[in-house]
A and B are shown apart, each in its own frame.
Chain A
Amino acid sequence: MTQADDLLVTHDVTVCYGSHQALNPTSLAFSEGGVTALIGPSGCGKSTFLRCINLMNREIPGCRVGGEILYHGNDVNSRSQDLFQLRKSIGMVFQQPNPFHKSIRENIVFAPRRHGVSDKDELDALVEDSLKAAAIWDEVKDQLDQSAFALSGGQQQRLCIARTLAMRPDVVLMDEPCSALDPISTFAIEQTIRDMAERGICVVIVTHNMEQAARVSDRTAYFLLGDMVETGPTKELFSRPRTSGSTTTSRGGSDDGREQDGGRAPRPVLRRLPCPEGRLARAWRRTRVTALIGPSGCGKSTLLRCLNRMNDRVEGMPPHGLGPARRRGRARGL
């Protein structure tokens, strides 16, 4: 399956953590402008495989990588390969948003500056381009000098993508980039992934969300218990899977928490939510699943934390009770 235009090729890559073999020989090829999804249950070796590509596994003590990873035809593990240059052109986005404790602008320009870009106009252009490419420019253009930690989780993750894109990488590795995010941020990031592919970047994304793999990827590789058991064009893999594992797993992603309202009306378990203007009143009933959705920073977690009074422990949050008969209080952000 290796072709001449493949940017990145792995031959029989294996990974051991101490004596435990986490990844059995895996051969895959990734081409420019293509999105490859690595799917499979947790612990199947997909993240381990991903971290081999930009040699992040070297940072884990006791981790040994075997086989061959060719990037532009050169083995990444050879001595002549410059580790820092390699990581610059093979970017990585992590599962949890991990912006630096710096301003938004600094998050973008910090690494390019360390790599020798010093012209101020060039850096400013880089900030704008990267943030636009990650679809976050409009939201943050007026607060570039504020802390990145003031952003919501979804915005932070897009900032991390922008930070990676600022290095002008050929390959972007994404390790479950949306698993900590809300649906709207996820949608924005999936959009960004497609844009990146159109600009010729090779994207490898690890995801446990089958629908996400189906939405964004051109090719999919399915991992199970340390083996890469199946690979192929995403459309084929999802419509005619050869192994039973991929069908079993693909059922997992379909339930999105629909409300199941039966004929009888169950007694509400939680009735009125505390809130100053009484703007948000909801009843939660037994045998009913309620999904709280919305963009990041909209107050859904805040609301959730009110229900078991975890907000009592949050500084600046006045104590409050639940239910009409109990103390009235207020919840921030509703």
Chain B
Amino acid sequence: MPSAKGSATASARRADKAATVVLACIVGLICVALVAIIVGILVSGAGKLFDINFLTAKPEQFKEGGGIGPELFNSFYLLLLTLLISVPVSLGAAVFLAEYAPEGPVTTVVKTVIEALSSLPSIVVGLFGFLFFVLTLGWGFSIMSGALALTMFNIPILVRVIQQALEAVPRDQRDAGLALGLTRWETTLHILVPSAMPAIITGVILSAGRVFGEAAALIYTAGQSAPALDFLNLNLLSTSCPWNVWRPAETLAVHIWKINSEGVVPDLTAISNGTAAVLMVCILLFNVLARFAGRRLARRLTAE
């Protein structure tokens, strides 16, 4: 042990202890608040959570007993489409920014723009989507309009996360690839991306959670109506075909907003609470599953 126990050391030690206590308190407070919110949502919606009829039936307009079947499906379908579009695009942009773009004023401006876009209010994205996809392109309220609006909302965050993940891969991994006579593309694709994969997966999950629970960007793009779905209908142009991307599609989050703002069904509080609980459980499950899959994938890619 150090023999000198001067006053400086003692005060530093006190500060260390104090910091530990303060940090623990902050984390404790945050945890309590978050757990309270989650438990509150789950408890108030618990009645509906295990009600198969609620989970599969279509919503009622005027009488009680409606379900959220189409909304549940729409939420997942929109999330899937959004990720299918936004992940490859973001990956490309992030790889370019992290590996190819020369340092210079243009790159700096691009990076700043992406940071600014990532804090763009989602209602602005929604209204832009309404003006451009719904009206100018004439796609109407449709899953495609919604997915593209969500993509715009998602890309800046994904680009930043993936770029940071790539930049966190040590320089010597790049050098190793290049020194073996591999091209920059081979080095990026086969060495850097697999190394950065765990961080990329985490980023995609976090952004997916945001997309899944997003309402404002969808109200004016994917619409507020959920046509009844017939899973046996494979005619991609029919409104009742679940896979048709040109039909309007209300999601869980939009449903909560809508039923609370203009719902007239007698059991609207119960439906709203139930929907919130389902949304919550979906996001939790999704997180756990995706994290698990990410770890498996990382292990397979890196043999660790």
B-contacting residues of A (Cβ < 8 Å)? 54, 56, 59, 61, 83-89, 91-92, 94, 96, 98-103, 106, 110-111, 114-115, 145-150, 160, 163-164, 167, 322-323, 326
Contacts and interface: CB of A to CB of B under 8 A. Distances in A.
A164 B181 contact: no
Given A88-B181, A100-B191, A101-B195, A59 B175 contact: yes
Interface in B41-75: none
A33 to B, nearest CB: 22
B180 interface: yes
A127 to B, nearest CB: 14
15 contacts: A59-B178, A84-B181, A87-B178, A91-B180, A92-B175, A94-B179, A100-B195, A101-B173, A102-B301, A111-B177, A147-B304, A163-B176, A163-B180, A322-B1, A323-B1
Contacts of B176: 94, 98-100, 160, 163
Contact of B102 (A61, A88, A115, A150): A61
Contacts of B296: none
Contacts of A87: 178-181
A101 B302 contact: yes
Interface residues of B, number: 25
B109 interface: no
Contacts of A98: 170, 172-173, 175-176
B180 A164 contact: yes
B116 interface: no
Interface stretch (B19-27, B182-190, B214-222): B182-190
A146 B180 contact: no
A56 B179 contact: yes
Contacts, number: 83
Given A94-B175, A146-B303, A86 B181 contact: yes
Nearest to B190: A110
Contacts of B182: 84, 111, 114
Nearest to A322: B1
Question: Which 6 A/B pairs are nearest by Cβ-Cβ distance?
Answer: A88-B181, A103-B303, A98-B172, A101-B302, A87-B181, A111-B180
Contacts of A61: 102-103
B174 interface: yes
A99 B176 CA distance: 8
Contacts of B180: 87-88, 91, 111, 163-164, 167
B303 A167 contact: no
Interface in B273-304: 301-304
Interface string B192-218: 001100000000000000000000000
A55 B234 CA distance: 57
Max chain A C-beta neighbours (<10 A), residue from B172, B181, B190: B181
A85 B181 contact: yes
Nearest to B172: A98
A247 B2 CA distance: 40
Contact of A94 (B172, B181, B301, B303): B172
Contacts of A322: 1
A87 B103 CA distance: 25
A84 B184 CA distance: 10
A147 B190 contact: no
Given A61-B103, A101-B304, A115 B181 contact: yes
A94 B1 CA distance: 38
Contacts of A167: 180-181
A33 B190 CA distance: 33
Nearest to B299: A147
Contacts of A59: 174-175, 178
B181 A111 contact: yes
A255 to B, nearest CB: 28
Contacts of A111: 177, 180-182
Contacts of B175: 56, 59, 92, 94, 98
